[in-house]
């Protein structure tokens, strides 16, 4: 076996590290923002049935355009956001990561640039690198919010071909005001991708960027079934945009990219939307319980519209991460000095997390920059 240096690897990939959230056998896995609630029995029964029927057709290629599934997704978005969408305005792939990759294949690529406001989703620069798209780290305020005027200035200076706005943002948790998204959109001639992976968890009164789509053919809103729907193993992500954007994606998608089993499982899950999303309020309540418990531990958090909380500050976040892991609680070290991210899930997980954190915080908090309480 040789090392990567012994291979004729593309130069821009040299020295990079792959996406790598640890997959450890730990009692409480609170590091990848999955929904821990078990899937409803009625859904599992219907899945067995639907997958059995789809399996009988596996000798044939799947519906290349996934039309029925896209119709179901358009209906779900309409029901939850009030925005009327045609199936032709919706596109689906194996996780929203594949959707984003297709967007960059079509609108980024060699000689082109993507801009995102960091810290944000670590996969945006990784998918940019994989598609040969240049990447520029945009700025945020110290409190991790986006300053609209500064964002507009950055977009005007960089002139990116693709701009990413993650709302609610990962790893910080806060949703972005629609006015900021509009201003960013109006400052660029490129594609603006609003990554709404956590939209279903947003605090009441937080509108979706879906409401901005009409009349903005360069705006794209991506969603996923990995988080609120509790179907991370399914690998189903999707976007809504002008139908011309969807037409452009057809130029780069692999034929038959979305397997028959995935399409059947996703449609079955969408038929159980109400039961699947019934856990969202409970998860939000656990998120809010975590936020409320932090000050008594000498810790603070960033306002969250998601199913996770960025909490701190620690003099040594890595040591705090390890100390929690030693207590069977796996959280995420997102590489932000002083901060860690925890996924909100069941009440039992919150109890275990807060108990472990109480022990850890007693020794670790308060020296990471002076805003501990």
Catalog residues that contact ligand PLP under the rule CB under 6 A: 33, 95-97, 121, 166, 170, 195, 197, 224, 226-227, 232, 237
- In the complex, the smallest distance separating the C-beta of residue 291 from ligand PLP, rounded to whole angstroms, is 19
| CB half-sphere exposure, 245, CA atoms < 13 A | 30
Using N-to-C axis directions, what is the helix angle for 178-187 and 148-158, rounded to 10°?
20
Q: Which burial class, exposed, middle or buried, applies to 58 when counting CB atoms under 10 A from its CB (0-12, 13-18, 19+)? A: exposed
- In the complex, the smallest distance separating the C-beta of residue 64 from ligand PLP, rounded to whole angstroms, is 21
- In the complex, the smallest distance separating the C-beta of residue 19 from ligand PLP, rounded to whole angstroms, is 10
- In the complex, the smallest distance separating the C-beta of residue 237 from ligand PLP, rounded to whole angstroms, is 4
Per DSSP bridges, beta strands 308-312 and 339-343 are antiparallel
Q: Which is nearer to ligand PLP, 234 or 323 (CB)?
A: 234
Q: Are 28 and 349 in contact (CB under 8 A)?
A: yes
Q: Which is nearer to ligand PLP, 124 or 360 (CB)?
A: 124
Q: Which is nearer to ligand PLP, 96 or 131 (CB)?
A: 96
Q: Where are the beta strands (DSSP E) in the chain?
A: 28-29, 90-93, 113-117, 134-138, 162-166, 191-195, 219-224, 237-241, 300-301, 308-312, 329-330, 339-343
- In the complex, the smallest distance separating the C-beta of residue 166 from ligand PLP, rounded to whole angstroms, is 5
- In the complex, the smallest distance separating the C-beta of residue 33 from ligand PLP, rounded to whole angstroms, is 6
Q: Which is nearer to ligand PLP, 33 or 364 (CB)?
A: 33
- In the complex, the smallest distance separating the C-beta of residue 94 from ligand PLP, rounded to whole angstroms, is 8
- Nearest residue relative to ligand PLP (C-beta): 95
Q: Write out the two tokens for 193.
A: 């991708």
Q: Are 354 and 292 in contact (CB under 8 A)?
A: no
Using N-to-C axis directions, what is the helix angle for 280-293 and 347-364, rounded to 10°?
20
Phi and psi (nearest 5°) for 109?
A: 100, -175
- In the complex, the smallest distance separating the C-beta of residue 280 from ligand PLP, rounded to whole angstroms, is 15
- In the complex, the smallest distance separating the C-beta of residue 245 from ligand PLP, rounded to whole angstroms, is 18
Cα 58 to Cα 202: distance, rounded to the nearest angstrom? 39
Q: Which is nearer to ligand PLP, 133 or 323 (CB)?
A: 133
Site of tokens 């609630």:
37
Q: Which is nearer to ligand PLP, 129 or 315 (CB)?
A: 129
* Polymer length of the chain: 373
Q: Which is nearer to ligand PLP, 225 or 354 (CB)?
A: 225
Q: Which is nearer to ligand PLP, 308 or 321 (CB)?
A: 308
Q: Which is nearer to ligand PLP, 208 or 323 (CB)?
A: 208
Q: Are 78 and 84 in contact (CB under 8 A)?
A: yes
CA angle, 41 as apex, 40 and 46 as ends, to 5°? 100
């Amino acid at each position: 076996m040789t090392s990567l240096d012994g291979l004729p690897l593309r130069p821009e990939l040299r020295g990079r590290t792959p996406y790598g959230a640890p997959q450890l056998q730990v009692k409480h896995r609170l590091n990848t923002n999955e929904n821990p609630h078990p899937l409803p029995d009625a859904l599992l029964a219907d899945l067995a049935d639907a997958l059995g029927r789809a399996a009988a057709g596996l000798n044939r290629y799947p519906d290349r355009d996934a039309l029925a599934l896209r119709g179901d997704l358009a209906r779900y978005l309409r029901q939850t956001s009030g925005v009327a969408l045609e199936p032709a305005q919706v596109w689906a792939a194996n996780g929203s990561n594949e959707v984003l990759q297709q967007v960059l294949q079509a609108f980024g690529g060699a000689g082109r640039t993507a801009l995102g406001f960091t810290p944000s989703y670590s996969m945006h620069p990784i998918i940019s690198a994989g598609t040969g798209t240049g990447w520029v780290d945009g700025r945020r305020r110290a409190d991790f919010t986006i300053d609209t005027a500064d964002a507009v200035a950055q977009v005007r200076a960089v002139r990116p071909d693709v701009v990413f706005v993650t709302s609610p943002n990962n790893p910080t948790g806060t949703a972005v005001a629609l006015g900021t998204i509009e201003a960013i959109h109006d400052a660029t001639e490129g594609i603006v991708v609003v990554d709404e992976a956590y939209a279903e968890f947003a605090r009441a009164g937080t509108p979706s960027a879906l409401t901005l789509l009409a009349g903005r053919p360069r705006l794209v809103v991506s969603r996923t079934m990995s988080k609120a729907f509790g179907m991370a193993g399914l690998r189903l992500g999707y976007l809504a945009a002008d139908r011309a954007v969807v037409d452009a994606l057809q130029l780069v998608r692999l034929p038959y990219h979305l397997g028959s089993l995935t399409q059947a499982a996703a449609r079955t899950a969408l038929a159980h939307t109400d039961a699947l999303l019934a856990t969202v309020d409970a998860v939000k309540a656990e998120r809010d319980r975590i936020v409320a418990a932090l000050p008594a531990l000498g810790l603070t958090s960033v306002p969250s519209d998601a199913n996770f909380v960025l909490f701190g500050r620690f003099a040594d976040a890595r040591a705090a991460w390890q100390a929690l892991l030693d207590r069977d609680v796996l959280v995420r070290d997102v590489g932000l000095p002083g901060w860690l991210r925890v996924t909100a899930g069941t009440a039992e997980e919150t109890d275990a997390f807060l108990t472990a954190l109480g022990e850890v915080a007693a020794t670790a908090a308060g020296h990471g920059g002076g805003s501990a309480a």
